[in-house]
Structure formats: structure tokens, C-alpha cells
């Protein structure tokens, strides 16, 4: 059945909705393009369009096609115009002995799909209290001793998660210590961060999977530790790591870039963090943003990232009442500067109030605190 659907998708003539009349093609878009291994849907869309996130608007399927975005190496794509106005995409099928291309390289985002999660709370979870031979760190083949595993069964597998970051607004992030408490004087409040004026809330805790283990002994009481044999150790285990049962955790492997389905007030969405403990990132860097499924964001949503315009003193008039020459708010004698475009980013993992996005392209780094807007924002 799947092969039949792929065949139908490959040979269908794809037309568009009326909205696609406004789609702008690239100035030098090719008449045809042969898909190659290693291509991404974003890069191919950028060859044809000035705005790659509008690709779905010209790639609308006939009703019988379940997924028109399955494009394979060897397929020949072309972009034509109906009556010289409305664009349409067509495809000549190539071989089907390789996986379809994706919107982004999965290798760039796999750790964020598999090993990171966002939770509202975690302190109620079982946790490691000690390690074999009183070690400070433990790895595969060694034993970890856990408190709070009453009710578990020998042979049951658990993932060990380490709380690393607390996300919130207006302060975007705080590092967490071994107890899961915030570490004083950490986070990015004073590192090129533009404070949000309308949001004051906890967005969630980020937990990173460090290992997997199997229960070999369950303690008889609350104060007797249970024993966990460590396996699949990606990182060393330490006291304070939390445990959750290993379970299927499905996530998307195919992404279609598209504009947001909902509108957002100014300053509502901002960059919370940049991967690898940086405060700025460029193409193929992962960022965490202050919005998720409750805001109508889903995987594939594209945003533009902007540096919020500052408010500077007018040195010519000399009418400023403050010595602050780079203020976050307007004031007497200050001039408001426009926002500055930095980059485009596409969401690939969505939680309730936090999402991960990949920076796709840009003219300058995307920094912690920058605002996210509709991808067409000017």
C-alpha cells in the first residue's frame, strides 16, 4: 500500500490554491532540478522560491495523494506557471532505493529528538543517591543505587535523565545543580538579553538523557536503595540524576517548512538558549524558543529572528534625561531604532511551552533574547 501511495505521489500533477498567486519565484530559479542524496527540502525550495517556507503553497496534492512531500534522490522537479500567473510543481520519479529527503539533515538535530525533553516538574522522580564502590561517576556495566523505586520490578528498564536548565520569562534560563535547584548568578539575563515586558512564568525544565539501566534489586522500604545495572551509557551517571521508565517516545522524522498558523503579540516569542552553551548561533545551530504547542506552534513552523530595536539618546539635541545610551524602553530625549533581521529558524521539536528550532539561514547571528516573528515580517 505504501509503495502504491509513493507511486501516486510521484506521478501526480500538483496544483495550488489561490494563495499561491502571491508566491514569488527565485530570480534565477532553474527550469528543472534533479534531487541528489544529501539535499534537503529547504535547500530545494530555496532554489525555486524567494521564501522557502511557502513551498507547501505550490506543492498541493491531488486529493488521492496522502503525502506530496516525499521527494527522493533521482526525482526531477520542475516549476511551471499556469497562465503565467499561478505556479505549480511537478515531478518525474527517480529510483526508490533510498530514503526520501528531509527538510533538514537529521544528523544535525538527532540528539535533540532522542535525548532531550522538557518537563513542568521533576523533583518527584526517583533519583540516584550513590554509585558502585562509592564512585563519583558511573558508566555502563557498573551499578547505581536509586531512591524512590518502590513498585518497580526486577528487569524493568529506566532512562536516567539529568536536569540541566530551567527555562522561564523574563529571565530565559538558569543552570541547575545536582539537587535540581537553580545555581545563583547563572543564566543569560545580563548577556545581550532583551527583557520581555509582558511574560513572567516558568516555561519548563530541560532534562538530558545520560544513560539507560535495568533494575536488578528493589529496596524493601523508602530508605533502602534499589540497584540499577547501568547500560547504554552515553554520559557518566552521577548522584542526582532522575529516572523515568523507558518507553516509546515517537517524534517526527519528516518536516515540511510552513508559516505559523497563529499570530503572536510583539515580544511574546524569544530565543531562550543556543546549543552548546553559546549565546549566539548561525545556520545549523539549534535554539530553544519560548513557545510551544499551547501557542499553536507545530513541527515545521518557520519564524524570522530579530534583534529588538533599542532606544538611544539623541546626542545632537542633548535632551536626554538618562545617561543610559542603549535602553530597553523609550524615554525623554531618546530615539527608537528599528528592529534588525538576523535569521530564519524552523521548529523541529515541540513541547507545551518550549520548542527547539534549527537556524536555517541568516545575515547575522541569532542571539539569546532576540524576538521571533512571522517569517514574512519586514
> What digits encode the pLDDT tens for the residues 301-322?
999 999 988 888 887 876 666 6
d(C-alpha 310, C-alpha 332), whole Å: 14
Residue 346 has pLDDT above 60, yes or no: yes
pLDDT of residue 94: 72
Residue 19 has what DSSP assignment? G
Residue 283 has pLDDT above 90, yes or no: yes
Choose the most confident range, by mean pLDDT, from 43-52, 268-277, 288-297: 288-297
Average pLDDT score over the chain: 81
Residue 190 has pLDDT above 90, yes or no: no
| Residue 53, phi then psi, degrees to nearest 5 | -70, -5
Contacts of 370 (CB under 8 A, 6+ apart): 194, 270, 271, 305, 306, 307, 308, 342
pLDDT of residue 350: 95
At 8, list the grid cell. Answer: 501516486
At 317, list the grid cell. Answer: 539635541
Nearest Cα neighbor of 91 from 50, 51, 52, 61 is 61
Please give the model's pTM, rounded to 2 decimal places: 0.82
Residue 16 has pLDDT above 60, yes or no: no
Q: How confident is the model at residue 285 (pLDDT cuts 50, 70, 90)?
A: very high
Would strands 286-289 and 340-350 be described as parallel, antiparallel, or unpaired?
Answer: unpaired
pLDDT of residue 247: 81
227-237 burial code (b ≥16 CB/10 A, e <16): bbbbeebeebb
pLDDT of residue 65: 39
Lowest average pLDDT, out of 203-212, 214-223, 280-289, goes to: 214-223
Average pLDDT over residues 100-108: 82
**Percentage of the chain modeled with pLDDT above 90:** 43
CB 55, CB 257: distance < 8 Å: yes
d(C-alpha 102, C-alpha 100), whole Å: 7
Residue 179 has pLDDT above 50, yes or no: yes
Average pLDDT over residues 20-45: 73
Residue 157 has pLDDT above 60, yes or no: yes
**Percentage of the chain modeled with pLDDT above 70:** 79
Residue 49 has what DSSP assignment? B
d(C-alpha 261, C-alpha 214), whole Å: 43
Lowest average pLDDT, out of 4-13, 296-305, 350-359, goes to: 4-13
Average pLDDT over residues 139-168: 94
d(C-alpha 367, C-alpha 279), whole Å: 6
d(C-alpha 110, C-alpha 282), whole Å: 18
CB 377, CB 304: distance < 8 Å: yes
Q: How confident is the model at residue 43 (pLDDT cuts 50, 70, 90)?
A: confident
More confident residue, 72 or 121: 121
Q: How confident is the model at residue 147 (pLDDT cuts 50, 70, 90)?
A: very high
- Can you say whether the dihedral through the CA atoms of 318, 324, 325, 326 is positive or negative? negative
Residue 185 class from Cβ within 10 Å (0-12 exposed, 13-18 middle, 19+ buried)? Answer: exposed
Q: How confident is the model at residue 86 (pLDDT cuts 50, 70, 90)?
A: low
Amino acid at each position: 500500500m505504501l509503495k502504491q501511495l509513493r507511486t501516486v505521489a510521484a506521478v501526480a500533477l500538483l496544483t495550488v490554491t489561490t494563495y499561491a498567486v502571491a508566491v514569488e519565484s527565485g530570480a534565477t530559479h532553474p527550469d528543472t532540478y534533479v534531487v541528489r542524496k544529501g539535499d534537503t527540502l529547504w535547500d530545494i525550495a530555496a532554489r525555486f522560491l524567494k521564501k522557502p517556507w511557502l513551498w507547501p503553497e505550490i506543492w498541493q496534492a491531488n486529493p488521492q495523494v496522502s503525502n506530496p512531500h516525499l521527494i527522493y534522490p533521482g526525482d526531477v522537479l520542475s516549476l511551471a506557471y499556469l497562465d503565467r500567473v499561478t505556479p505549480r510543481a511537478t515531478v518525474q520519479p527517480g529510483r526508490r532505493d533510498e530514503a526520501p529527503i528531509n527538510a533538514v539533515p537529521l544528523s544535525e538535530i538527532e540528539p535533540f529528538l532522542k535525548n532531550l525533553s522538557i518537563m513542568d516538574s521533576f523533583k518527584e522522580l526517583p533519583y540516584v543517591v550513590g554509585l558502585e564502590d562509592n564512585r563519583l561517576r558511573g558508566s555502563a556495566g557498573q551499578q547505581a543505587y536509586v531512591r524512590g523505586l518502590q513498585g518497580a520490578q526486577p528487569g524493568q528498564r529506566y532512562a536516567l535523565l539529568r536536569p540541566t536548565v530551567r527555562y522561564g520569562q523574563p529571565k530565559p534560563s538558569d543552570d541547575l545543580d545536582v539537587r535540581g535547584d537553580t545555581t545563583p548568578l547563572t543564566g543569560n539575563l545580563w548577556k545581550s538579553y532583551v527583557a520581555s515586558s509582558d511574560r513572567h512564568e516558568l516555561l519548563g525544565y530541560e532534562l538530558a538523557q545520560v544513560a539507560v539501566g535495568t533494575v536488578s534489586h528493589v529496596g524493601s522500604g523508602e530508605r533502602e536503595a534499589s540497584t540499577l545495572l547501568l547500560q547504554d551509557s552515553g554520559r557518566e551517571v552521577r548522584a542526582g540524576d532522575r529516572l523515568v521508565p523507558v518507553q516509546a517516545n515517537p517524534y517526527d522524522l519528516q518536516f515540511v517548512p510552513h508559516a505559523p498558523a497563529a499570530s503572536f503579540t510583539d515580544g511574546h516569542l524569544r530565543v531562550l538558549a543556543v546549543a552548546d552553551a553559546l549565546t549566539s548561533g548561525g545556520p545549523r545551530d539549534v535554539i530553544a524558543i519560548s513557545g510551544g504547542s499551547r501557542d499553536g506552534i507545530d513541527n515545521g513552523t518557520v519564524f524570522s529572528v530579530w534583534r529588538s530595536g533599542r532606544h538611544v539618546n539623541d546626542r545632537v539635541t542633548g535632551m536626554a534625561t538618562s545617561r543610559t545610551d542603549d535602553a530597553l524602553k523609550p524615554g525623554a530625549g531618546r530615539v527608537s531604532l528599528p528592529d534588525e533581521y538576523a535569521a530564519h529558524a524552523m521548529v523541529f521539536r515541540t513541547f507545551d511551552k518550549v520548542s527547539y528550532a534549527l537556524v536555517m539561514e541568516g545575515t547575522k547571528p541569532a542571539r539569546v533574547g532576540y524576538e521571533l516573528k512571522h517569517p514574512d515580517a519586514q
